[in-house]
Amino acid sequence: MDTDQKIMQIPLPTLKRLPIYYQYLTKMEREGVRDVSCAKIARDLGLVAVQVRKDLQLTGAVGRPKTGYQVSRLMRALSSTLGYDNKTEMFLVGAGSLGKALMGYKRFQEYNIGIAAAFDASEAAVGLEIGGTPVLPLSKFPSLCHRMHVKFGVICVPAEAAQEVADMMVSSGIEAIWNFAPVTLDVPDTVIVHNENLTASLSILLNKYKTSHPESERD
């Protein structure tokens, strides 16, 4: 009854901030900090205290006046909300440079997330092992996916191949897709898609820069 496992719909903007709080708390914990207030979190992360408090309330975390939140309890509330409690195994398709980078990304382990295997259509990639993750032939995906009950798929293939891979993932039992290809995937609405579009993201920076430096607009 401590960390109430109530499932609730968390606003997306809040949801985007929660992992930031978690990472911040990891650092605090390492430094031996016991308790932390909204005011301090907000100051360190460039936010405002009220917003932090409201965000944290949505995770079921409770603080104490004058003291703030107990770091360890707050982290439990956050990790529960963010799904770090349960081990998450993912299958990745597309062992190009980005796919390889993700395979080698150590940080996922800290959150109980792992890339169980990678798959690629090209002979050249198959057989490699990156960061302990083997690259298997794409044809093995469906059977292995069913057998291992993997529910998370990562798409790192070029745009042209992405929909096809998504279809294969869905028919193999994948229920949530992390998509790095710059296309809008068409999947049943029982399947959750989260798009990661690096170029799109960079564009935001370009626009912000442009907007804040209008003088550079001379041409």
Partner DNA sequence: TTAGTATCGATATAATATTATCGATATAAA
Partner DNA sequence: TTTATATCGATAATATTATATCGATACTAA
In the set 62, 116, 176, 183, which binds DNA (CB under 7 A)? 62
Please, are residues 100 and 130 in contact by the beta-carbon 8 Å criterion? yes
33 scored as a contact of a copy of itself (CB under 8 A): no
* 213: amino acid identity, one letter: H
CB of 13 to a copy of itself, least distance (A): 9
Please, are residues 45 and 86 in contact by the beta-carbon 8 Å criterion? no
Beta bridge partners of residue 178, listed in sequence order: 154, 194
Beta bridge partners of residue 193, listed in sequence order: 177
Q: What is the largest CA-CA distance in the chain?
A: 63
Cα(127)–Cα(26) distance, integer angstroms: 36
CB of 58 to DNA, least distance (A): 10
In the set 26, 51, 163, 195, which binds DNA (CB under 7 A)? 51
Residues that bind a copy of itself (CB under 8 A): 5, 7-10, 12, 15-16, 18-20, 22-24, 44-46, 81-86, 88, 96-98, 100-102, 104-105, 107-108, 111, 113, 151-152, 175-176, 178, 182-184, 190, 192, 194, 196-214, 216-217, 219
